[in-house]
Amino acid sequence: MLEQFSLKGKVALVTGSSRGLGWAIAQALAGAGAHIVLNGRDAGRVAPRLEESKKNGWSVSSSIFDVTDGPAVAEGVARTEKDQGHLDILVNNAGIVIRKPTLETTDQDWQTVIDSDLTACFRLSREAARGMVKRKWGRIIMISSVMGTIARPTIASYVASKAGLHGLTRALGVELGPMGVNVNCIGPGFYPTEANDVIRNNKQFYDWVSGRSPLGRWGDPKELGGAAIYFASEASSFCNGQVLTIDGGMIAAL
């Protein structure tokens, strides 16, 4: 039964995997047997992860590009297909957040987040799906957020982009599913990462979030690994177009 969770022989590209949730997901997929392609904009930040992966005995390579750069994305995906022979799993994890009150948010602020957190995921999915459709097998995993379902002030563009990812997951799942490509989404709750240092270092807010979750704490990035392996493997062969929120029960509680 456990063999259906094996990723041996599969190639997985994880965007934004030099740190945070992306790195945790990449480690999980590597541990399940996949060849992982680490991605980031800064080769210097990716390099230590490459070395760490090799020391752990994992099969690993890297692809350095900015997910908001269309030509670079197309080239990066094509290079992975050429170098590895195939790309089976795409994890759309890279993203940013700009924290500003709506009345202070510029058009450029808005567009910057939408480009990174939503448009880039569409573009990457489109490019990765070309080979997946030809081989009649593929897995695309969106990394959204609990903010795709609920909302907080000062991050309107982030909330909109993550909610958009839920719709994109359904749309691509419906369109690509008949061609052998399953598309699903993970919606993390609050996890300690560099991206949320500002709010995490606010003890009052940190404690409030902990109390808001029925499990009484923030998540550990490693706790996303099981869901990522499930969505990436044969175990999820009949799961398509779904959003799995992993938030300690936050959105279930009043």
pLDDT digits (tens, 9 = 90+) for 92-145: 999 999 999 999 999 999 999 999 999 999 999 999 999 999 999 999 999 999
Q: Looking at residue 65, what is its pLDDT? A: 98
State the DSSP H helix or E strand holding residue 127, giving kind and residue range, or none if neither: helix 120-135
Quote the strand ranges of the chain, DSSP E.
11-14, 35-40, 60-64, 89-92, 138-143, 181-188, 243-246
Domains recognised in the chain with CATH numbers: 2-194+220-249 (3.40.50.720)
- For the chain, how far is it from start to end, CA to CA, in angstroms? 37
pLDDT digits (tens, 9 = 90+) for 37-84: 999 999 999 999 999 999 999 999 999 999 999 999 999 999 999 999
DSSP secondary structure string for all residues of 191-211: ---GGGHHHHT-HHHHHHHHH
Catalytic one of 158, 191, 206, 230: 158
Nearest in space to 149 (alpha carbons), one of 5, 246, 15: 246
Entry pTM: 0.97
158 catalytic, yes or no?
Answer: yes
What number of H helices and E strands is found in the chain? 9, 7
